[in-house]
Structures are given as C-alpha cells and as structure tokens.
Amino acid sequence: MSAPTHTRPHPAITGGVGTRLPWWALALPTLAFIALFALILNPSEAHATTGGEPAVAQLVERAQQLLTLGH
C-alpha cells in the first residue's frame, strides 16, 4: 500500500525581495559611521578620561606586569 504524495500548490517565486529591513537596521550603522567619521575629522572633540596616564600606557604597563609574574 503506497502513501499519497503531497505536492506544492504553487511554485516558489525566486528573484523577489523576501524580507524588509526595519528602519533602524540602516539608521544605527549610519549613525555610528557618522559619529566615528566626525571623531576622525575633529579629534579635539573626543574627550579622554582624566585618570592621569593614557589608556595605551596603562595597557602596556599591565601587560608587562603580567609577563613578569610568569618568571
């Protein structure tokens, strides 16, 4: 006894746009790009923390401390 097979009533349409993006999917990356581009053009507007040493110097110092602990 064989089971009946089911066929699709309509063939799948290819070539059309299947989904639409929400408005924020384009707005948020655009806003982030504009903000970063503004910082590149005018770096004096970028305010660093006033903790004393720059963050890169603190990072290098911490890396040196971690390396000397291993020896």
- The residue among 43 and 16 whose pLDDT is bigger is 43
Taking 70 as the threshold, does the pLDDT of residue 17 lie above it? Answer: no
Cα separation, 8 vs 10, in Å, equals 6
| Residue whose C-alpha is closest to residue 56's, from 44, 45, 68, 64 | 64
Asked whether the beta carbons of 18 and 25 are under 8 A apart, the reply is: no
- Model pTM? 0.37
Asked whether the beta carbons of 25 and 19 are under 8 A apart, the reply is: no
- Confidence band of 21 (pLDDT split at 50, 70, 90): confident
Taking 60 as the threshold, does the pLDDT of residue 48 lie above it? Answer: no
Cα separation, 29 vs 42, in Å, equals 20
Amino acid symbol at 50: T
Residue 65, pLDDT score: 81
- Containing 41, the helix (H) or strand (E) segment is helix 24-41
